[in-house]
Structure 1
Amino acid sequence: MAALSASERSARLRSLWAPGLATLVCLAILLGLGVWQLARKGEKEALIARIIERSHAEPPATPPPFDAWDAKADEFNRVRARGTFLHDRETLVHGLAPGEPGRALQGFYVLTPLKRDDGTTILINRGFIPTELKRPEDRAAGQVTGEATVTGMLRASEARGLFVPESDPKRDAWFTRDIAGIAAARELTNVAPYLIEADATPNPGGWPRGGQLRVDLPNNHLQYAFTWFGIAACLIGVFSVFAWRRLHDPAEPKAG
């Protein structure tokens, strides 16, 4: 096997500048994505720990004043509110709830306005009902009358995901817990910018069934980080083989 001349080796070395620079840019991007996923992993673990800690807080706090609500700071705080349910203005939001192992129940989450003595209103996610109990008369025992006390966790409006249909107030079809949209559709005034997810305190008749908040937020960021770092390692390997062959293999095309 004939050795490469000094001039040919120098020319081949110069030909590696462009692919080498492109490889470095791609490598920086891949490593950056991996580091970002590790940071997101830490943020998600902190959020889950915060939810668990706040979900067990005793005694429950008073809901914050509407103008002092800070979703980032206040969401998932455990609170207690008292008032009268306006069952005639409840809203059913399409959703799923855990059923038998490996099977989800299809139905609705019941959002009912709670009118307080000071004239303010807070939407309460009272819990889940299966589709067959959509009509209020089929779950009359759960329509609490008179003053009621609700304990649960503060939640902000639910953002619509990529694959979630858009709610249609005209058809009374709701797919997200949209506080402002529901308040407007039900002609509610002085409504809190947050809602309360009711805890698992049993309702008369068993429905709606509260306590549906699950601390099972997906946390796959470590896997994603390994994926990006793995691709980066493969890129280094591929470029190393390419560069070695370019510099040492006489069968490689000459650099122009």
Structure 2
Amino acid sequence: MKLPLIPTAFVLTAMACMIGLGVWQLQRKAEKEALLDRYVQAATMPPVAWPETPDMDLLFRRATGFCLEPVSWRAIAGQNRAGDVGWRHIAACRTGGGEGPGMQVVMGWSQSVNSPEGWDGGEVTGIITLDPEFGLRLVSEEPVAGLQAVALPSPEDIPNNHLLYAIQWFFFAAAAGIIYALALRRRLRELA
């Protein structure tokens, strides 16, 4: 029996792509491990001043910033240190003279979406983490009055699923090969 040229080429090309994606995921796994190691090391380094411009090299570093005044508040879903689900309260702070992006500060956690009252700003010490909207945010170690302590960010909370993705791509490639082999075998039986 002669192999059908176009379907065989298609399946082999697809399998090669899937294997390539699996190898790429293994490379990404190593890159992610290096990044997570860098974050773990950052957590042990001395505190820095809140940066005037977002600097991703400061993720998971302790920092101190000064909030001249909270300009606005927003609440996003989050957990307190006990693991309860509720709302993290983030203050958008003015940091001075209009320079820089200001400072986004997670000032605590509560069951209510309503913004806290009575905090007029001041020095805040916490851990730098990502803010999808503003680049960076500071997660305060101490809550303001009326709020509970929010769960602190940790590099351990960042998943590294690249090995599972690689296994998945290799499985898809093997499955495609097996299915095609079974289809060829069935066709051979029908022709015999």
| Equivalent position of 1:53 in the other structure | 41
Match status 1:153 vs 2:141: no
SS of corresponding position for 2:49: coil
Q: Distance in 1 between matches of 2:183 and 2:106?
A: 62
Is 1:16 the equivalent of 2:42?
Answer: no
How many residues end up aligned between the 2 structures? 190
Which residue, out of 51, 58, 61, partners 1:78? 61
- Secondary structure at the residue paired with 1:132? coil
Aligned match of 2:75 in 71, 93, 112? 93
TM-score, length basis structure 2: 0.77
Partner Cα separation in structure 1 for residue 52 and residue 82 of structure 2: 40
Which aligned pairs between 1:240-255 and structure 2 lie closer than 5 A?
Answer: 240-244=181-185, 249=188, 251-253=189-191
Q: For residue 243 of structure 1, report the CA deviation from its aligned partner.
A: 4.0
Flag the 1:48–1:206 CA change in 2: closer, same or farther, 3 A. Answer: farther
Matches within 5 A, 1:1-256: 12-13=1-2, 15-58=3-46, 60-66=47-53, 69-71=54-56, 74-76=57-59, 78=61, 80-87=63-70, 89-97=71-79, 104-116=84-96, 120=99, 122-132=102-112, 134-137=114-117, 140=118, 143=119, 147-153=122-128, 155=130, 157-158=131-132, 178-179=133-134, 194-200=135-141, 202-203=142-143, 205=145, 207=147, 209-210=149-150, 212-215=152-155, 216-244=157-185, 249=188, 251-253=189-191
Quick check: 2:49–2:65 contact (8 Å CA) kept in 1? Answer: no
Separation of aligned partners in 2, 1:198 and 1:100: 16
**Share of identical aligned residues, percent?**
23
Q: Which runs of 5+ in 1 are unaligned?
A: 1-11, 159-177, 180-193
State the AA in 1 paired with 2:72.
Answer: E
Distance 2:44 2:78 in 1: 24
Q: CA deviation at 1:62?
A: 3.1
Q: TM-score, normalised by structure 1?
A: 0.60
Cα displacement string for residues 45-65 of structure 1 (whole angstroms, at most 9, x for unaligned residues)? 22222222112211x223444
* Partner Cα separation in structure 1 for residue 154 and residue 112 of structure 2: 23
Unaligned ranges ≥5, structure 2 = none
Across the aligned residues of Structure 1 and Structure 2, the Cα RMSD in angstroms comes to 3.1
Question: 1:125 & 1:232 partners in 2: Cα distance?
Answer: 46
CA shift in 2, pair 1:241/1:210, >3 Å:
closer
Shift of 1:217: 1.6
Q: Which amino acid aligns with 1:49?
A: D
Q: Cα gap change, 1:214/1:44 in structure 2, threshold over 3 Å: closer, same or farther?
A: same
Higher strand residue share: 2
- Determine which structure has more spread, i.e. the larger CA radius of gyration: 1
